[in-house]
Structure 1
Amino acid sequence: MSTAPRAAALRVPFRLRALAALPFLLAVAAYLLLLAVWSDRLPDPLATHFSTGGEADGFTGRTAFGVVGAALLLALGAGWTALVRRGALWGAWLTAGLLGTLLCLLVQDNLDAADAAAVRSPLSNLAVALAVGAVCALAGHALSRLLPPEDATAPADGTGVDPAAPRLDLGAGEVAGWSRATASTPLTALGLLLLAVGAVAALLGPWWLLPLAALIAVPGLALARVRVNVDRHGLTVRSTLAPRPRVQVPLADIAGADARDVHAVAEFGGWGYRVRARRTGVILRSGEALVVRRGDGREFAVTVPDARTAAALLNTLVERRGRL
């Protein structure tokens, strides 16, 4: 294992965490306010699950509906607040805007209903929620531009392969490649759990919870198992479950590579495809990672076993290309 020092963790400003929590608090306040103000105009139980045609076929008590909706918003808000980074603040606002609008529209659908069984929920509610979510995402992005960049380690100078970096002993005419598959237990478990919860929630409550859960879970599952390839073309990271996502770093864009330990949460804010100041990565766990330094000083990291061999081959290929 390389003795290169581990990159310092990025510090998340309090203002960034506060801005991540803000849309969820606003959504919870609006949702509970509607339930309180319209309490005498709402049936009990409320219609909370609908068929594809919009007819009510599932019902939830008024108090339970308020508790479950608020708890869902607060749980998502807590997750975003804990893991948010400046470049992903828009995602927190999108999530809060989309889910908060759907919950508020569901309350509106039940307004003045004499019989919850007669309530209908039009498909246009989803379009309205998506529109509000998009506006909230733009607001979150605009707010992120007012924050200073997060602290990060100083970028590499991009002057070439470090003399101390690992090398692979290849003859002048030899050709070599390296490939390794790796998987993330946390991403797999979280994705499957989210789909299961979404399915159960859709059976007991609003039908749109299942597609919402799938929207979050499927990209995570696609990145839960990847194959990392190193050859004369450079570095390729692709999902083994689907054609996309796929990340490629051409050999011509690589200044050097190394292997070092990374911390998934402290350095990258979680698992999956991560974007940080001056670096990106496919982070499936904490531990050994292949870290590639691009020509402009930015870094790309992928957590994979036997990263030192991959780094050694890349450094050898980069030097060989420089001699051509």
Structure 2
Amino acid sequence: MTGCGKRPDGAGWGAAVWIAGVFALLAALPLAVSGRLPERVATHWGGEAPDGSMPLWAASVFPALVWAGSACATVLTTRRAAAPAPSWAGAALAFTGVFMAGLQASAVRANLDRADWREAGSVGAGVVLTSVVALAAGVLGRLAGRRGERPSPAAGTGVGAGAAMVIPAGERFVWLSRAANPWLHLVAAVTGVAALAAVLAAACGLLTGMQGAVVAPFALASVVTWAFGSVQARVSEKGLEVAFGPLGWPVRRWTPQDIESARAESRTPAQVGGWGYRLSGAGATVMLRAGECLVVRPRTGAEFAVSVDDAERGAALLNALRAGRPG
């Protein structure tokens, strides 16, 4: 999420694609199987039997509009809060989107191949399953949002490439910086929506015998690009920790004793062989955007570099910790 007047970051673009994708799913799902649905479809159940209905077009439009209103309210509240990616917003969008899509799929399935809406089947099992999946999605959205809320970097003065930060005795500092590739987040959101669409289509009786062949590639692409579309570097008294993805996994760690030196260095994708996790003559580089990188030289093994902001300060703190200075 981004504030008014700011360019969307990777999380903002991913949220935009998610909102648009869920809107399209809610509106298109009943229409996609309209030939197998009655003119009026059951939309409310009082126990096992349906007790309310809507015309097919209304059953398509109404849930989509409810989702759009809910998502817009979340986005506007986030912007007013001036937070880059608050955890509650990610949880709300993930939970509500999955929950509404699951309810729509359950309702469509219950009406499928019925001559009259009063003959629609039960949605009890679908509601229970939808609730469980939506809660899991909400938890993941909250975890992802919490990792996006970063504190201010550690203070310090007079630091340069390869220099050590002056840390007052008795003080402890933590340096934290992130980088993200918005294009990878877009790919993750688009392929995730495609996987969800395939799951819902299968739940409505479509894609018979093809669920695995359609869902698996999109789901795998979404998970991989989502996991490696961002990186977070953290320097503390324990050393350096580089965590991948919104959930911070997988993780690489070095203690201060493992590091021979640290520095800030400008690198480009052309220099390291492309985007992502690259291996070259310069060692390993996590390249999500061109420019400043935090580069560490371990006592054993090749150099490791990660493209994050404020790398100079992170390197200076690492050098101070490595030298055993107060902190």
TM range (shorter): 0.3 to 0.5
Structure number with greater CO (CA < 8 Å, separation at least 6) is 1
Given the two structures, how large is their TM-score scaled by the length of structure 2?
Answer: 0.43
Given the two structures, how large is their TM-score scaled by the length of structure 1?
Answer: 0.43
